[in-house]
Structure 1
Amino acid sequence: MKRPSQRRREHALGWVLIGPAMLLMGVFVLAPMLLVFVLTLFDYDPFDQAFQFVGLRNFQRVLPSQELWGATVNTIVYTAITVPLTVGGGLVVALLIHGVSRGAGFWRSAYFLPVAATLTAMAVVWRFMFYPDSGLVDTTAGQLFGLRDWLDSTTLALPAVAVVGSWAGLGSAVILFLAGLSAVPAHLHEVAALDGAGAWHRFWSVTWPALGPATVFVLVLTMRDALRVFDQVRVMTDGGPLNSSQTLSVLLWQRGIKFLDIGGSSVVNLVLLVILLGATLVQLGTFGRRWEAAGTR
């Protein structure tokens, strides 16, 4: 049995070891969150550095606005499009790469290239691809489905940006799923094959449960990136036309940087933060916990 002095030393050592991480979290996570909340209560002029306490006036001004609700709906729709495409596509591509006998390294690198590239530069390329009539999208899929001028359409602009977001996030999902697939014990597949299980049954009974932790991680990261999307929206549509592709991050930038409405932008930032935390907690507290437990049993 440990003596009280030994337990105190171990307790103190634990605090020493986690102290730097807690300090960094406080400086770079908790302090900015507290500052955002404080700024929602003030009217701040960045030019003359003047603070004026306005209480809940910023909330009363921003929360009922149609602009905020429209940006929130667009953000949710964008997330609903990109998350299934990225997670499902990443899983399928990872399974295909994992199953090839030659060239797996090449395909891993090819799918990871969008992650290594600057998203802003890639968004510029995609903007040219969506150029009306002469762009690659209009001359191929546009001709096939009768759709054109995506970025100037109030109904097609957001799906077009979502396609780019899914393409950009696919590489990370593929790499994470490949890491999960490499941890699946090979003997489980061999036993299932000896029992007469086909490819689908081996995937559903062996591979998919073992991918639980990787799936949870990919889902959380993909949803986080989707909810705070900014780069490709700003470059491709700037929130237009008629705010049809305006997301919360774009609205935050417009209010805070373009119009210098620091208090109003802080309210938008707080709304985005609440949605991010809520979505993450719901995922981890429901199916995320079951999937992770299935993969670690």
Structure 2
Amino acid sequence: MLLLTLFVLLPVGIVTVLSLFHYDLLAQSHGYVGLGNVRTALRGGQLLPALWHTVLYWLITAPIIVCVGLLVAVAVNSLGTGAGLWRTAYFMPAASTLAAMSVIWTWMFYPNSGVIDSTLGRAIGVTGWLGSTSWALPAVAVVGAWHDIGSSMIMFLAGLNNVNPDLMEAARLDRAGAWQRFWHVSFPALGPSLVFAAAVATRNALSVFDQIQVMTAGGPARASTTLSVLMWQQAITFGNLGVGSVISVLLLLLVLAATFAQLRGFGRRWERAGTR
């Protein structure tokens, strides 16, 4: 409880208090404004687009992370020889520094000469991904999904290791096929892992910052500016801690609401091991 208070509750309380004050680091001025920072954030015309970009990024990445992570976990778990090698290979992106990997992905997306631009880009007629208002956000979403699939795979592998071998053997004796054994035996046991993987993917997606800051800095024309990026710009770049704190509180509420909706919608049923 002491650590929880110091590292979670106290920072949240400080940010909530700061959201009620005008505190300009550049001008060295401060004062209580109540909901004035909320009006300032809305009046700037950047908050709602950033909110939409954050939700869109979540809708793109979270399903990929969970679904592909599950498929990879099932494939790796079915291997006899070499399972450890493939498990390590898929987990390596999650163990790497996302900011450093984003630099490499920026080179891969480099217009005309980058490997993605010169192969897939030419095939579908898209060039200059990171400089396009339509493709910048999907491009950084690919990087985010690539980075987190390994973590999702590890969660599902842990769940697959908890499958009751007696149930699996009984299914084989009943001549259940591979799909039937997965759907009726393995998948119900993955309920807790699935809930946790979805919650982690949601949290990471809604708070995305690293790859966007490195690859696009929120551009072009703010087409990839998310709430975390906007919060950084307001609080750090412009020194307006009050507006930055408002955005931080909004982001916290968004993560809590999305996680609560998942738990209420399907999480508790899946955690009770098997009701689909």
Gaps of 5+ in 2: none
Aligned to 1:32: 11
Contact 1:213 1:295 in 2 (8 A): no
Q: Deviation string for 1:56-83 (max 9, x for gaps)? A: 2111111354200000000000000000
Q: 1:168 aligns with which of 135, 139, 147?
A: 147
Superposed displacement of residue 282, structure 1: 1.1
Q: Distance in 1 between matches of 2:35 and 2:198?
A: 35
Q: Deviation string for 1:39-96 (max 9, x for gaps)? A: 1111113357543111221111113542000000000000000001110010001111
1:80 matched to 2:66? The reply is: no
Q: 2:203 aligns with which of 211, 219, 224?
A: 224
Aligned to 1:71: 50
Gaps of 5+ in 1: 1-21
Aligned to 1:105: 84
Q: Distance in 2 between matches of 1:76 and 1:35?
A: 26
Superposed displacement of residue 34, structure 1: 1.2
SS of residue matched to 1:88: helix
Aligned to 1:179: 158
TM value normalised by structure 1: 0.90
Aligned to 1:154: 133
Superposed displacement of residue 228, structure 1: 0.2
Task: Find runs of 4+ consecutive structure 1 residues off by over 2 angstroms.
Answer: 45-51, 63-66
Q: Report the count of equivalent residues.
A: 275
SS of residue matched to 2:22: strand
Q: Deviation string for 1:1-26 (max 9, x for gaps)? A: xxxxxxxxxxxxxxxxxxxxx11111
Give the residue type in structure 2 aligned to 1:273. Answer: L
Aligned to 2:123: 144
1:291 matched to 2:273? The reply is: no
Matches within 5 A, 1:126-275: 126-275=105-254
Percent identity (aligned): 52
Aligned to 2:257: 278
Higher radius of gyration, 1 or 2: 1
